[in-house]
Amino acid sequence: MTPVPLPSPPLRNLALSRQHVDRAGVNRVPASHLQELWASPDTRVLQVHAGRAPVVSTPEGLELVLRAPAQVPTPGPDDLQLYLGVDEGVHHVAVVSADAEPEATDGAGGGEEWRGLREVGEELSARDAGLFTEALSMGNWHAVTRFSPRTGQPLTAASSGWVKVEPDGKEHFPRTDAAVIMAIISPEDELLLGHQPVWPENRYSVLAGFVEPGECFEDTVRREAFEEAGIVIGSGLEDVVYLGSQPWPFPASLMVGFAARATTREIKVDGDEIALARWFTRDELAEELAAGRVLPPPGVSIARRLIEAWYGGPIPVSDDKPWA
């Protein structure tokens, strides 16, 4: 039997992988650089409060509201001030706060709303999606990296928000959790989708899991497929194919996407991470989506792109709301 062909890389138009702002890491180091940018009316500031940023609808589409420093409330002592990078000669910084969004400030445009990245990431421009993803990722890292794992002493921010420093000078750098996410395809060219117990009813997506220490991506794909659904993935190099990656700052993941060829069909869910799982043909998936009996992952996710890579194009969707 000829093996079913897997989707070919790369995945295109991943919503949160379209970043084109120059992060200009060399500008992070001078202690005075961030202060100089705050003093410049040409700097643009992104505010992020409780995971939400201000956006506004324009004739060109949805845009982040980026303000001059003088239009932004003075950051509080617990707020993260972060250098994001430079785009077309304009330097961008962020203020990230755990507090709820502030009241309307001077210069706020009509129709401004505070929205989360899951909601708007797909609609934003490449620049804006990249800025929001970068700021949210770093804000989440700072929120959980407050004390030294060696001594328990408080850490302070340095290098324009990109480093945390202990009193004795020991530095800590941002961390990202690598996770695989995979379109598992049966010998009959069916796609495996699963439902997690914490998801709303009828929500289905492809399987995923975190990379363990000392493990490569391909082995993680095989291990997670078996642990979560009892499915065996082929052992050949051609049985696990890399398709693309996307940052997922909820709170700090990098999702690495694959297509994987299953050699078995019997499903045995673990009952913990995956409560239900089933194989779908393309016709079955289209029918279930149209009837609302299957609700897919949102368009901002790499999971949607993996499903569509197998499906052969955009899937018919009746509900495209972001997941909580």
Helices (DSSP H) in 145-294: which residue ranges? Answer: 217-229, 282-291
Query: Looking up tokens 């391909």, which residue turns up?
Result: 218
Q: What percent of the chain has pLDDT over 90?
A: 91
Q: Which amino acid is at 44?
A: R
Give tens-digit pLDDT for 287-321.
999 999 999 999 999 999 999 999 999 999 876 77
pLDDT at 135: 98
User: Peptide bond before 174: cis, by omega within 30 degrees of 0?
Assistant: no
For 312, half-sphere exposure in the C-beta direction (CA atoms, 13 angstrom radius) is: 8
Query: Residues 56, 63: contact at Cβ < 8 Å?
Result: yes
| Sign of the torsion angle spanned by Cα atoms 234, 237, 243, 247 | positive
pLDDT at 324: 56
pLDDT at 90: 98
pLDDT at 81: 97
Q: What percent of the chain has pLDDT over 70?
A: 96
Give Cβ neighbours of residue 199 (< 8 Å, ≥ 6 apart).
Answer: 323
Return the CATH architecture of domain 31-144. Answer: Alpha-Beta Complex (3.90)
Query: Looking up tokens 């089933």, which residue turns up?
Result: 278
d(CA 107, CA 116): 21
- Could you say which residues of the chain have pLDDT below 70? 1, 104-110, 319, 323-324
Pair of tokens at residue 245: 């990656």
256 membership: H or E segment, kind and range: strand 253-261
Give Cβ neighbours of residue 104 (< 8 Å, ≥ 6 apart).
Answer: 112
CATH class, domain 177-311, is alpha beta
E-strand ranges in 50-101 read: 52-58, 61-64, 80-87, 90-97
d(CA 18, CA 129): 7
d(CA 204, CA 196): 8
**End-to-end alpha carbon distance in the chain:** 42
DSSP state of 159: G
Rounded CA Rg of the chain:
22
Q: DSSP states of 199-224 as a string?
A: SPTTB-B-EEEEPPTT--HHHHHHHH
pLDDT at 111: 87
The rounded Cα 49 to chain-centroid distance in angstroms is: 17
Cross-strand pairs, 49: 52, 97
pLDDT at 323: 62
pLDDT at 319: 65
Common-topology check for domains 31-144 and 177-311: yes
Question: How is the chain split into domains, by residue range?
Answer: 31-144, 177-311
pLDDT at 298: 94
